Amino acid sequence: MLHLCRLWVEAGLGDKEWAQAFHMFETELNDQLHQTKGGGNGTEPREGRWTLETFSMWLLKRGRRLRECSQWFRAFDFDHDEMIGIGDFIQGLVAASSPRVSAPGSSCGLCSALALFRLLDLEKRQGQSLDVSDLETILGDAQVSIGADLPLTPQQIAQRATDFDFFRNSLLPRLQGASAFRLRVFGSSSSE
C-alpha cells in the first residue's frame, strides 16, 4: 500500500482523486457482482477484482473504443493475473491520468513505461525489431516526433524500441504525455 501511495503522490494526484479512484473501482465492482451473480445473495464469496468485461465498461465511459479495451486491460494488469485488482487499477491510473510527466528513472516513470510498453504491444515483441513504418505509426498516433536530441536514425530506434530499458529512457519521455495514451478519469463529473 505504501508503494501505491508513493506512486500516487509522485504522479501529482491528491486525496480528492484518491477518493474518486476508490469510488470508481468499488462502483464498477458492485456492478460486476450484480451482473455475474444476478444481484448476489451474500452467501457467495465476492471477487475483489475486475474482469475484462468490467474494465471495458469502465474504459468505454472514458472515451475509448471497444476494440481498444483488451489492450488497455493488459496495460493495467500489472501483475499479469488476468484480472484488475485495486493495486493494478491505482498503478494504471498513475500511468494513464497523471497530471505530471514523470522522470523515466522514477517509480512513477517505471509504472508509466510498463503500462505504455504493454499498451503499444511491445512487450510481446521483445527481442524483435519494429519496422520503421510501425515506429512511424506509433509516433503518428501519438502526434509526437523523435526530435534532434536523440542521435539515432529511425531504423536504429525501431530496432531498439522493444528493449524495455531503451523504451523507458528514450521513447517514454516523448510518448508519455500524448493524448493517445491518456485517459479522462478525474474531473467534475459526480456520476462516477
Give per-residue pLDDT as tens, 68-102. 999 999 999 999 999 999 999 999 999 999 888 88
Going from the N-terminus, what domains does the chain have, and what CATH number goes with each? 2-40+48-112 (1.10.238), 124-175 (no CATH)
**Alpha helix segments (H runs only) across the chain:** 2-10, 15-37, 52-60, 69-76, 86-97, 107-119, 132-142, 154-160, 164-166, 172-175
The pLDDT assigned to 109 comes to: 92
The pLDDT assigned to 41 comes to: 52
The pLDDT assigned to 37 comes to: 62
Tally of CB atoms within 10 A around 32: 20
C-alpha cell recorded at residue 77: 494488469
The pLDDT assigned to 190 comes to: 39
Instruction: Tell me the pLDDT of the chain (192 aa) as tens digits.
Output: 888 888 999 999 999 999 999 999 999 988 887 776 655 555 455 578 999 999 999 999 998 999 999 999 999 999 999 999 999 999 999 999 988 888 888 999 999 999 999 999 898 887 777 889 988 888 888 888 877 778 888 899 999 999 999 999 989 988 888 888 989 888 744 344
Cα–Cα distance between 185 and 137 in angstroms, integer?
A: 26
The pLDDT assigned to 188 comes to: 46
Q: Which of 8, 2, 184 is nearest to 112 (CA)?
A: 8
C-alpha cell recorded at residue 119: 499498451
The pLDDT assigned to 108 comes to: 92
Cα–Cα distance between 95 and 97 in angstroms, integer?
A: 6
C-alpha cell recorded at residue 191: 456520476
For 145-154, letters b (16+ CB in 10 Å) and e give ebeeeeeeee
Residue 39 — φ and ψ, nearest 5°?
105, -20
How far does Cα 46 stand from its chain's mean position? Answer: 25
